[in-house]
Structure 1
Amino acid sequence: MDAEIPVVAVLGNHDYSLAHETDKINNVIATYLTVFLQDLGVVVLENESYSLTNDSGSSFHVIGLGSMWAVRSDIKKAFSKIPANEPRAVLMHNPVVYKDIPADQGAFTLAAHTHGGQIHLPLMPESKTWLDIALPREVVAEGWAADSIGKGSNRLYVNRGIRFSMLPIRFFCRPELTIFNLSQKNDTLVKSDSE
């Protein structure tokens, strides 16, 4: 905040006190956290967007989706005020919502939630996690998702995060703080680097 750079956030399951998808939603905790962050100057998005405009008048939009587990994700509402051809980043907590983003509307989509799976299984192809075995659906636990998961030019990156969930352990799954360097090329926003 001291650098006067906009900080944008979305809430996730733990912000509603949801350790499991079937737990009771606690909106009081989420509201408290939202107000606390807003008082610090953080823009908390729930199915809405925040626009940044540079000196030449070009806009970049950050779209934030509500928490899936708290039944607050509304893709249609979140995208309703953004022209289809303008560059944007889409933020969501749970990557499962990604499959519902309309084609070519989420070329730079970021999610978290999985903690990278926390436990990677050694000697498994493509760095499989226990989530790949335990869950009955395709899981993107970390990194760039396969192109085939999204619609059109949509792309998803899932961050491993710096903490853990349920069990206080990470095995072959280091914490991650991702930095993206974005640049504009031929009026199109492109990914140039990530760490």
Structure 2
Amino acid sequence: MEVEKRMNRRSFLRRLVAGIGGLMLLAGLDAFFIERHMLRRQDVTVPLAGLPDAFNGFRIAHFSDLHIGHGLAADDLESLVQKVNSAKPDMIVFTGDLVDDGMEELVAAAQVLSRLQAPYGKYAVLGNHDVRGHVDPDRIIKAHQDAGFIPLVNRNLTIRHRTVDERLIVAGLDDYWRDPDWEAAFSGIGKGECVIALIHEPDLADRAKEYGVTLQLSGHSHGGQVRLPFVGGVLYPPYARKYPDGLQRVENSEMLIHTSRGIGTTILPIRFLCRPEWYMLTLRKK
């Protein structure tokens, strides 16, 4: 009887190990081959104090972190373009990291992204992967322009409503790793303006609130890229740990931040329980 118990125990342990191994294999296959290609739209309502009446219901398509060259090619952007254009946003913003190792795909990527359309324009900022190592930031900015995006590098622009005399301010900060000029990015903005700031690293929101920003749009975190039940994101990069995902209120302020989980990948070309996402943000007057 004792021998039979030991055999049953060993059989159970072998089955348990085999089951865990099988689950790990399936998870790995999903993360590498399936989930990272399952682009989805997320709709987010953003209540803003001080939003001009004419912009109530204004819709912004927000995407981030393409990382062209790291498991994502220019042709893979076709799905994003089709989905965003079908949604007919008022404005489109891209919050950085156009490339990873894909400088040779810049021209092709710009051609695909040039088909994105929005009546109030398209705006982009640089991410940390756009300014480091072998990457030439000037070439990234040129690709933004070729794609029809207005690069916002330490500057801001006024977005005027087409029918009434009301406006939004859209500001963009250079990437943190290039020592951005905060004063230039937010210069000339009057008190009480509704300011939307594009800043790649989300945790910079704690400083952005000092400049009267109403809403910050960011990326960089990838949502952790690999997420576990009851745990969430496994690993977040520096400056993406305090406000890593979704819509949040910035500490000790009325300012909001929306952080994108991004579309591409870095380090490893995998996503697990963290599908690539783009967002339709609908602004509502609070």
TM-score, normalised to structure 2, is 0.54
| Contiguous gaps of at least 5 residues in structure 1 | 19-23, 191-195
Structure 2 letter corresponding to 1:68: Y
| Contiguous gaps of at least 5 residues in structure 2 | 1-113
Aligned residue in 2 for 1:46 = 153
CA contact (8 A) 1:46 1:65 kept: yes
Percent identity (aligned): 29
Cα distance in 2 between the residues matched to 1:138 and 1:164:
17
Cα distance in 1 between the residues matched to 2:242 and 2:253:
19
Question: 1:171 deviation in Å?
Answer: 1.2
Question: 1:151 deviation in Å?
Answer: 4.1
Cα distance in 1 between the residues matched to 2:239 and 2:198:
25
Compared CA separation, residues 35 and 137, structure 1 to 2 (3 A): closer
Aligned residue in 1 for 2:242 = 139
Cα distance in 2 between the residues matched to 1:160 and 1:67:
18
Q: Deviations over 1:128-161 (max 9, x none)?
A: 21136x879943221123x3x4342111110001
Structure 2 letter corresponding to 1:101: A
Question: 1:96 deviation in Å?
Answer: 2.4
Aligned residue in 1 for 2:208 = 101
Compared CA separation, residues 114 and 136, structure 1 to 2 (3 A): closer
Cα distance in 2 between the residues matched to 1:135 and 1:89:
23
Compared CA separation, residues 123 and 102, structure 1 to 2 (3 A): closer
Quick one: which of 157, 163, 168 aligns to 1:60?
168
Cα distance in 2 between the residues matched to 1:4 and 1:173:
27
Q: Does 1:8 align with 2:123?
A: yes
Cα distance in 1 between the residues matched to 2:233 and 2:188:
38
Q: CA RMSD in A?
A: 2.5
Aligned residue in 2 for 1:166 = 267
Aligned length: 170
Quick one: which of 251, 264, 269 aligns to 1:150?
251
Question: 1:83 deviation in Å?
Answer: 1.0
CA contact (8 A) 1:103 1:150 kept: no
Aligned residue in 2 for 1:21 = none
CA contact (8 A) 1:131 1:139 kept: no
CA contact (8 A) 2:152 2:174 kept: yes
Question: 1:35 deviation in Å?
Answer: 1.7
CA contact (8 A) 1:94 1:113 kept: yes
Aligned residue in 1 for 2:234 = 130
Question: 1:121 deviation in Å?
Answer: 2.0
Structure 2 letter corresponding to 1:100: R
Cα distance in 2 between the residues matched to 1:150 and 1:25:
36
The answer to which structure has the higher helix fraction is 2
Cα distance in 2 between the residues matched to 1:107 and 1:91:
11
CA contact (8 A) 1:104 1:153 kept: no
Q: Secondary structure at the match of 1:57?
A: coil
Greater length-normalized contact order (CA 8 Å, ≥ 6 residues apart): 2
Compared CA separation, residues 79 and 104, structure 1 to 2 (3 A): closer
TM-score, normalised to structure 1, is 0.76
Question: 1:46 deviation in Å?
Answer: 0.9
CA contact (8 A) 2:203 2:240 kept: no
Structure 1 stretches of 4+ moved >6 Å: 134-137
Question: 1:97 deviation in Å?
Answer: 1.5
Question: 1:68 deviation in Å?
Answer: 0.6
Compared CA separation, residues 25 and 13, structure 1 to 2 (3 A): farther
Cα distance in 2 between the residues matched to 1:159 and 1:90:
14
